[in-house]
Amino acid sequence: MTLEGYAAVFDDPTRIESWEGTFNEIIARGAFAKTISERTPVLQFDHGHDMATGSVPIGAIDELREDEHGLFIRARLHDNDRVKPIRQAIASGAIDGMSFRFRVLREEWDETGDTPTRAIREVELFELGPVVFPAYASTTVGVRSLLAGLDGDERSRLVSELARELTISSDAARQGTSGIADAARQGTSESCRGLTLALAQIPIRKV
């Protein structure tokens, strides 16, 4: 089975509401251009946290490019017993969204309105693929929802991964953040650099 669709949509504002603050977030055109020219991300199911498939890629990406609408992907799903239920769920329409994980490298903040807006200008893309629950909430809420479904060992591994990402990215966050005065917003900016789940529900087309 070939799946295709948009893993991200450009200039589509998403309201982020969490303990770190409230702001709007958009992904700007060109945010993926450099990262996809340097490497091909991994195609995983549910961000690699599915117990059956784990972090093993569920298929091969044939095409990944930016266009005027967003980040377009075309991929071939593997034909084996572990991936078969995912293929069936996509074919039936039970799974119809994609999500992705990335680290923010460059961003801009606009605080002139009532609600600040964060424009993501450049990212490092790690993985993408179909998910049961495409993330529309903030990064923190999305990560919490993942933690809730994991056992103790899996939860510890994911928390350790997040901690490593945040440690690596904290210096870059301090240098790159465009002067957000409020401490809560500063924390949001830095934490989002560690691990970000997709901000939009993207339909998958089956071919």
> Rounded distance, CA 142 to CA 144, Å?
5
Q: Residues in the chain with pLDDT < 50?
A: 136-146, 169, 172-203, 205-207
Distance CA 3, CA 73 (A): 8
Separation of alpha carbons 122 and 111, rounded Å:
20
pLDDT at 14: 82
Cα 140 from chain centroid? Answer: 12
* pLDDT of amino acid 156: 66
Q: CB-side exposure of 10: number of CA atoms within 13 Å?
A: 16
pLDDT of residue 188: 34
The pair phi, psi for residue 37, each rounded to 5°, is: -80, -20
Whole-number pLDDT of residue 90: 82
Amino acid 183: pLDDT: 35
The three-state secondary structure class of 152 is helix
Beta bridge partners of residue 23, listed in sequence order: 16
Distance from C-alpha of 30 to C-alpha of 149, rounded to nearest angstrom = 34
- pLDDT at residue number 143: 30
Listed as own residue / partner, the contacts of 135-138 with beta carbons closer than 8 Å and 24 or more positions apart are 135/99, 135/197, 135/198, 135/199, 136/14, 136/199, 136/200, 136/201, 137/16, 137/17, 137/18, 138/16, 138/17, 138/18, 138/20, 138/188
- State the number of CA atoms in the 13 A half-sphere of 164 facing the CB: 6
- Per residue in 163-196, pLDDT tens? 665 555 455 444 444 443 343 333 333 333 333 4
Report phi then psi at 9, rounded to 5. -120, 130
Name the amino acid, one letter, at 200: A
For residue 68, what are the CA distances in angstroms to 48, 71, 81, 192?
29, 9, 37, 25
